[in-house]
Amino acid sequence: MKISLRLKTLGDLVEPTFYLADVGSDHALLPLYLFSQEKIQKAQLIENKIGPYKRMEKAVSLSPYHSQCLLTLSDGLSELDKDVSAIVVAGMGGQLISSILKRDEEKLKSIDDLYIDAHSERSELLMSLGELSYSLVDSIFLEDEHKFYDLWHLKRTKNKVLYNEKEALFGPLHLKNKEASWVKYWEAQKKEKETILLNKEVPTFKRSILEKEISMIEEALR
Ligand code: SAM
């Protein structure tokens, strides 16, 4: 089984759980990796498209874990098994992840842990997850094949969690830990913005937005 560093690292964030659901499982790599690590006993693999569904069905049937898997061709959490207590959503945009979770907010009441790998709109997603009463307990900023990923573990809390603009943009835990890959990413972002500013034709309003963003990055990196 060839698993990417991104998926393996996300899998390594997962705490031992009896029954986990993987929404948008596609090739089924993540749940099969979790079984091989003895981190889960049961998995629901969810796909809403026939091509990826067939792919995950084949991967599961060829694995030693087929009797421990429930496969559903369904949208998001619409057919989530009531006994699932942890959910993974990986490899999608933040807006899509947020809409999948918000649409079935009621079902989240029995979900203690969320594991998320969002490839865009991460600030907005973190704020929505806070609104849904999930708190970020662990996050890993990772460089894999020249791309950067921010992998999250969130736990359900009693109350809503409020993240401010700075925490949502940079990640509340990264702001404290300042991992080398996170520093590398934000230094590159800063450089990109500084390069744009070198162009004298950049209009004043755009210039002031970029200057504000650069100073936010400098403050975060300090
Ligand atoms: N999770 C895997 C990973 O991280 O490598 C696969 C990511 S793949 C880019 C996204 C998958 O999510 C696709 O197979 C797509 O069909 C599925 N997907 C998108 N929206 C979904 C939804 N609402 N419900 C279930 N699956 C969905």
How do residues 125-182 score in pLDDT, each as one tens digit? 999 999 999 999 999 999 999 999 999 999 999 999 999 999 999 999 999 999 999 9
**Confidence band (pLDDT; 50, 70, 90) for 37?**
very high
Residue 153 lies in a domain: yes
The residue-averaged pLDDT of 209-213 equals 96
- Shared-domain flag, residues 125 and 207: no
Q: How far is the CA of 49 from the centre of ligand 1 (A)?
A: 8
- Which residue, 5, 62, 9, 6, is CA-closest to 32? 62
Distance 96 CA to ligand 1 centre (A): 10
The Cα 69–Cα 101 span in angstroms is 22
What is the residue-averaged pLDDT of the chain?
97
**Domain of 67, in residue numbers:** 5-162
Domain harbouring 42, CATH code = 3.40.50.150
In a domain, 107, yes or no: yes
Q: Using most ligand atoms within 8 A of CB, pick from 10, 23, 32, 53 the residue to mutate for ligand 1.
A: 23
DSSP secondary structure, 50-118, as one string:
HHHHHHHHHHHHTSTTGGGEEEEE-STTTT--TT--EEEEEEE-HHHHHHHHHHTGGGGGG--EEEEEE
pLDDT of 67 above 80: yes
Q: Are residues 17 and 56 in the same domain?
A: yes
Amino acid at site 212: K
In this prediction, residue 139 carries a pLDDT of 98
**Does residue 1 have a pLDDT over 90?**
no
Residues 6+ away with beta carbon under 8 Å from 112: 85, 86, 155, 156
